[in-house]
Copies of this chain bind each other. A is one copy, B any other.
Amino acid sequence: MKITEVEAIPYRIPMRKALHFASGEVHAIEHVLLRLTTDEGLVGTADIPPRPYTYGETVASVTGLLRGLFRDALVGTDPFARERVHERLNRTVGNPTTKGAIDIALWDLAGQAVGRSVHALLGGYTDRLRVSHMLGFDEVPAMVDEAQRYRDEYGIDTFKVKVGRRPLALDIELTRALRGALGPDVELYLDANRGWTATEARQVLDATADLDLTFFEEPDDAAEVLGRRWLVRLSRIPIVADESAPSLGDAAREIQTGGASALSIKTARTGFTESAKILAYAEAVGVDVLMGNQIDTQLGSTATVVFGAAFAYSARRAAELSNFLDMADDLTVRPLSIVDGFVAVPDGVGTGIEIDPDKLAHYRLDEE
């Protein structure tokens, strides 16, 4: 089996509700749909979320690569020869979500080719993942209300609170209000998206020490190396590396040098193959892993649940799978649903992603 065609289709879907957090805001998602076609007529699909402020990728750079260098690296190759494909792709540095999506599409093709789910091929640990919902910036009552609504409506009992604002009291009071309103049985953790200094983050840790928080993600800029290490040493909860550990090498460097004490894994940027390596590294050294969300559509969230539910080590904690709820629509014909706090792994072969041609025609940004 050989890859014969590489399609990169930019599309735009408005947000139902804009997302606000310390490092930016999102009013509509502009993603690129990747499709790899083979000589056997199979189509492997994955979603690419270009994030210029995080990875330097844009819709133009992603489509350019997939119609140029990466097309040349893919056409004519066997989709099972993942390790050889990655060696070729990695001659081009960076571009993590483009490479991640290619890996997911290769796995999708492999699963389809053998008539099995990718979830089973990866390890088949459990058929569903518990969901963690991200609460973006808003007024305190609105955020408390959203959490209560998501708990009532979806059964979600784990919330990631976007923080990183000044004055610090804003987010300290927000967190206290959430704990007060939601009670002791809900899991709460913070994500500051590098919004604070190490010293400010330490102040927040102290001021929230009685609130039973489980994680603190990217409290400050990890590039300010000594400040971050000092914070990690002082913290009684794991400091999670997300944007500071976007690859296997970065993840190892941050953990080994004390720049973090837990890892966020996002299939959008490390696909399944490199995500599995990061997961193995985390298991080897015994640090916690969160399955993160790259403001993923249903397509991206499907990839996350397929991967996260396949391994015991990634299935231990709630995964960030609910961002798609804020989007006005999606390209899939098989929408995910959150029931009793869980998302189920989709049935079917490959990753289970199936594109609605009418929706794609409606939302695509290129000429048909």
Contacts and interface: CB of A to CB of B under 8 A. Distances in A.
Interface of A: 78, 80-84, 86-87, 110, 113-116, 120-121, 123-126, 248-249, 251-252, 256, 273, 276-281, 283-286, 310-312
B310 A80 contact: no
Give 10 nearest A-B pairs by CB, closest first.
A114-B114, A277-B280, A83-B125, A280-B280, A252-B284, A83-B123, A281-B284, A80-B120, A81-B124, A80-B124
13 contacts: A80-B116, A81-B120, A81-B123, A84-B126, A113-B116, A114-B116, A123-B273, A248-B283, A278-B284, A280-B284, A281-B281, A281-B285, A284-B284
Contact of A121 (B87, B121, B248, B284): B121
Nearest to A250: B284
Contact of A81 (B86, B125, B273, B284): B125
Contacts of A278: 280, 284
Contacts of A82: 123-124
A310 B83 contact: yes
A280 B249 CA distance: 10
A360 B6 CA distance: 49
Contact of A248 (B87, B248, B280): B280
Given A248-B280, A280-B277, A281-B284, A83 B114 contact: no
A249 B125 contact: no
Contacts of A123: 81-83, 273
Contacts of A113: 116
A281 B311 CA distance: 16
Nearest to A80: B120
